[in-house]
Structure 1
Amino acid sequence: MTARLSDRTPQVPPEALVDEMVPPSMFDEVSFESYIPDPNEPSQAAAVEAGREFVTKARKAREGKRSMLGKRSPSQGVGIYLDGGFGVGKTHLLASIYHLMPEPKAFATFVEVTHVVGALGFTASVERLSKHSVICIDEFELDDPGDTMLVSRLLTELTAQGVSIAATSNTLPGQLGEGRFAAQDFLREIRKLSGVFETIRVDGPDYRHRDLPPAPDPASDEDLRALAEKTEGATLDDFDELCAHLAKLHPSKYKALVDGVTLVCVSNVHPASDQTVALRMVVLADRLYDAGIPLMVSGCKLDEIFTEEMLAGGYRKKYLRATSRLLALSRFAEKAT
């Protein structure tokens, strides 16, 4: 019988969350040298150089200055903020920064950072992360004022202790000419840290869908079941049952939920019933994409999960990023079959 994600209930000790703050496996080997800038987008080559300069400054900040007693204390950390559209290689650049910095160091999405603080508490989080040379935060989000202020306060404490911060965020498609406004939003929301960050624009088309056809047609239920049964390590879930199971798990456990899975199959997919369900699907999409797990579905197309009403609301960036990643995963599955 094919396994189901709905039958998995992973247990993740809170203290393990910090140890798991590393780049997704698909970025294990990336570097500035392996980043191929689009020749038609000079901002990409400029971002590579800015990343290299940040590493140099961040290393110096961590080394700090020698006191009159011969001891070294860290200088204030430095910051870099990479702003651009979906799929322009910002995560590749962020992981390249991570790989060049000394241990200990951390790499996590904005949501994962909030999960760490929620699990450990603010004071313990500062204590655990204050010895790090850098905190790399992918997909910094500004749509939840409470989370934004929490992370801003955390980063203020950490930079004062010599920890440098590298962050990425997305500008919506159609607003690529308005990157400065996105940067201004970011700097305004992190108020006390605005002087630390250098903002770098990264333009270009989404490489995940460059010159590719629209969303693949869903499989039939019969074909989906057959694919799951013949694929070792695959899971097969009904969409509604999976959504109900996700509601019982803290999002910090979604990474462990898909650990070791080779293919995720979901039947009877349909537009999300409400924002809560949709936001859980965003987190699951991120964890699947981070792990490079192919996705095959039956029912509606993957670019129809988030309704027009949702896409017009405050979580538009989240939903568009998730759609981009879900489509990429579905194409992984097509190639595998």
Structure 2
Amino acid sequence: MKKFNSKSCEEIMTTVYKPIEFCIDNLLAQGLYILAGAPKVGKSWLALDMCLSIAKGEKVLGQQTTQGTALYLCLEDSYVRIQNRLYEITDGPAERLYFVIMSEAIGNGLEEQITDFKNEHYDLKVVFIDTLQKVRNESESGYGTDYKELSVMKALADKLEITIVVVHHTRKCADSDPFNMISGSTGLSGCVDGSMVLIESKRGSRTAKLHCVGRDIENAEINLQFDSDLKKWIVTDEPSDCKSKDNIFLAALYVYLKKHIDFCGTASELVNVLKSVSDETFYPNRVTRDLVQNGYTLRKYGIDFQYKRTRNGRLINLHYDHERDSSDSKNSTVVTVNGAHKQYLANP
């Protein structure tokens, strides 16, 4: 019998893992997602806008994107219809955007087709499948069948480290919980990493709310208005861009290490020395978490982090290497430091 491959709590909490990458900040991370809505509500326009924005590295729905290749499986369309839509939504072609109008089904070759495409386009970020029904291999819909079928796509997204979004329909009957309106069993919602449900306030009104929920995103309800001239869904209540306290901590750490190069001590001692560069209040019990979860980011700025357990307790070792610092000095903000104003990097 094969034994469990277990890891201790301490090992997990002190290991720097590669962070989950978002192709659209706060909306789409690596993994499997559902985009659902009523027929002709505008799901395809939203999907196309997302694909185009990722391919160009432009904002969509007020959120930043990570630029890369986008693959859109328009399985209910023709190339003529796709061409017409593209001319409606953009004034020029995007080099990293590709379309497919025919594909194999899940379990019958689709995974291999996506894998081959990824091998040819190493920077593939997102695959939209419009619609899910077109690639389903099972005619029946039940919890076990739905979960099993989407589990294949979930495993593929995780393996390739990409985002896969399946476009799906909602049921006609209304529900106080919009996610209960996703057509099919709860096996669909249970398997995916996140769901987005687009619901018009009134049929044909072109005003809608995008309900979002997921493992790696905050629950959100985004009010949208469809711009008939731009052929895009526009956010009508775009939230203000607030600074993350984690980023302020990293910025203070960056400023301190640029001057002192090295640090070795406990979390409490680190919090104490950071008082010399920031008036913000940081807490020792959060320091290790912030360092571990931002380990990859710190490396980009020439900061190496090690966490060691010794007889005297747990020690944090930090070292700054100017040669490996890839920061942009223009990306800075003025922060109050010991009663004065000081400029330093706010979002490493």
TM-score relative to the length of structure 2: 0.27
Higher relative contact order (CA 8 A, sep 6+): 1
TM-score relative to the length of structure 1: 0.28
Relative to its length, the structure with more helix (as a share) is 1
* Higher Rg of the two aligned structures: 2
